[in-house]
Amino acid sequence: MIQVKGYAAQSVSSVLTPFSFQRREVGPKDILIDLEYCGICHSDIHQARNDWGESIFPMVPGHEIVGRVTKVGAEVSQFKVGDVAGVGCFVDSCRTCPNCKENEEQYCEGHRVGTYNSVEKDGKTPTYGGYSNQIVVDEDYSLKISSKLSLDKIAPLLCAGITTYSPLRHWKVGKGDRVGVLGLGGLGHMAVKLAVAMGAEVTVLSHSPQKEKDARRLGANHFISTENIEISHVFSNHFDLILDTVSAPHDLNRYLKTVKKDGTMVLLGAPPESTQISAFSLILKRRNLAGSLIGGIKETQEMLDFCAEKNIGSDVEVISAKDINTAYERTLKGDVRYRFVIDCKTF
C-alpha cells in the first residue's frame, strides 16, 4: 500500500484536519500522480456537511485534481512518468451500460465510482479525493493536461470547467446565442469564459452587485444585479440558455420567465432543498427546464484541449492545506475570486 497525507472531515460537524491513509499499489492499468493542486468545489462543502445526505466519513474531499505522473503500471499506454495528469469527479464506472458506452460515464447506470465519498468497485473500499499529496487512478479515468497554462489555473477545469462546458455543447451554443449565467462563483465564472469563447452574448445574473466589474473583465456583455428587481421586466423572453449555478435555494420561476420560446434553463447548482415550479413558467413559451452533471472523460478531454487552445484557465486564490477551513467559510459567504485551489505540496 502507498502511505498518503491529506486532510479529512471526520464527521459532519467537524472541521477538516490532517489525515494519513493508504492508497492501493499501482496496478497494471494505474498511474500514480504526485498532486500539485486541488480546487475547492462547493460540492466538497455540501458533502463534507452532509447536505445531500449520503456522506461517508472520514471524508477526504477534492475532485479538481492535477499533478505529475511518477509511476505507471505495466499495461499503461496513454501516460508516462513526468506527464501532467488530471482527475475529475469519478475514477471508474461500470464501462458496459449504454451511457458508459456513449462516453457519458457521469450518467453510468451501474456503479460509478466517485473520486471521494464513494466506494471502489469491490463495494467496500472507500475512495479518498484530492485534498492529499498522491493519488492512484486507472489511466482510462485520467486526463491529459497541457502544461501551457499554470497548473493551479487548470485544476478547477476538472469540475467547474467541464460542468459548464458540457451543457454549452449539449445545447449547441454558438455565435450570437444569448446565454445567461446565474451566480458568479466557481462554476459561474468558468461558464462566462467558455460561453464567451464559443461566441455567445453573455449576461451575468448575480445577487452580488460588487461583481459587475469582474463579470465584464471575464467577458460578459451584460450584468444584472438580481436583488430587488423584477428580472423579467429587464429581460423578457430573451435567453436561449440559462446556466443556473447557484448553490443555495432560490426561486426558479423568476428566471424561467426570461427564457425565450423553446429556450432552456439548466440546473447545475445543487441546493439540498427542493423548489416549486409554476406550470405557467414553462407552458406559456414551451420552455424547457433541465439538469446536467459534470461530463464524461472524452468530453472532459475535449474541454481541456479547448481551454489550452483558447488559453482559458480559472481565476484562482492558491492556499495552503491549513487554510482549507477558512476557505470553506469564505466560499459559503461568496468571498472568493473565483476558486480556492490548494497547493498539494503543503499536505
What is the per-residue burial (b if ≥16 Cβ within 10 Å, else e) of 333-347? ebebebbbbbbbeeb
Q: How far is the CB of 271 from ligand NAP (least distance, A)?
A: 6
Before 338, cis peptide (omega within 30)?
yes
CB-CB contact of 42 with 334 (8 Å): no
Cα diameter, the chain? 62
What sign results for the dihedral spanned by CA atoms 49, 52, 56, 62? negative
For position 184 contacting ligand NAP by CB under 6 A, the verdict is: yes
Nearest C-alpha neighbor of 186 from the set 11, 16, 327? 327
Residue bearing cell 464524461:
296
Residue of the chain from 26, 85, 168, 246 that contacts ligand NAP (CB under 6 A): 246
Q: Which is nearer to ligand NAP, 134 or 163 (CB)?
A: 163
The angle at the Cα of 327, spanning 112 to 8, to the nearest 5 degrees, equals 50
Interatomic CA distance for residues 333 and 225, integer angstroms: 17
CB-CB contact of 5 with 18 (8 Å): yes
Residue of the chain from 127, 247, 281, 314 that contacts ligand NAP (CB under 6 A): 247
Residue bearing cell 450584468:
223
**In the complex, which residue's CB is closest to ligand NAP?**
185
For position 46 contacting ligand NAP by CB under 6 A, the verdict is: yes
For position 159 contacting ligand NAP by CB under 6 A, the verdict is: yes
CA-CA-CA-CA dihedral for 15, 20, 26, 32, to nearest 10: 60
The grid coordinates of residue 317 equal: 486564490
Q: Which is nearer to ligand NAP, 115 or 292 (CB)?
A: 292
Three-class SS of residue 184?
coil
Interacting span for ligand NAP (CB under 6 A) from 193-201, 245-253, 274-282, 308-316? 245-253
Q: If contact means CB under 5 to 8 A according to the sort of partner, which of ligand NAP, Zn ion, none does residue 108 touch?
A: Zn ion
Q: If contact means CB under 5 to 8 A according to the sort of partner, which of ligand NAP, Zn ion, none does residue 207 touch?
A: ligand NAP
Q: If contact means CB under 5 to 8 A according to the sort of partner, which of ligand NAP, Zn ion, none does residue 93 touch?
A: Zn ion
For position 12 contacting ligand NAP by CB under 6 A, the verdict is: no
Interatomic CA distance for residues 194 and 199, integer angstroms: 9
Q: Considering only residues 159-178, where is the footprint of Zn ion by CB under 5 A?
A: 159
**In the complex, which residue's CB is closest to Zn ion?**
41
The angle at the Cα of 317, spanning 241 to 130, to the nearest 5 degrees, equals 85
Interacting span for ligand NAP (CB under 6 A) from 112-120, 123-131, 170-178, 247-255? 247-255
The grid coordinates of residue 117 equal: 465519498
Q: Considering only residues 202-231, where is the footprint of ligand NAP by CB under 6 A?
A: 206-208, 211
Q: Considering only residues 104-133, where is the footprint of Zn ion by CB under 5 A?
A: 108, 110
Interacting span for ligand NAP (CB under 6 A) from 107-115, 155-163, 171-179, 297-305? 155-163
For position 193 contacting ligand NAP by CB under 6 A, the verdict is: no
Q: If contact means CB under 5 to 8 A according to the sort of partner, which of ligand NAP, Zn ion, none does residue 185 touch?
A: ligand NAP
Q: How far is the CB of 51 from Zn ion (least distance, A)?
A: 13
> Residue 222 is inside which H or E element, if any?
strand 222-225
Binding positions for ligand NAP, rule: CB under 6 A: 41-43, 46, 159-160, 163, 183-188, 206-208, 211, 245-248, 250, 268-270, 292-294, 331, 334
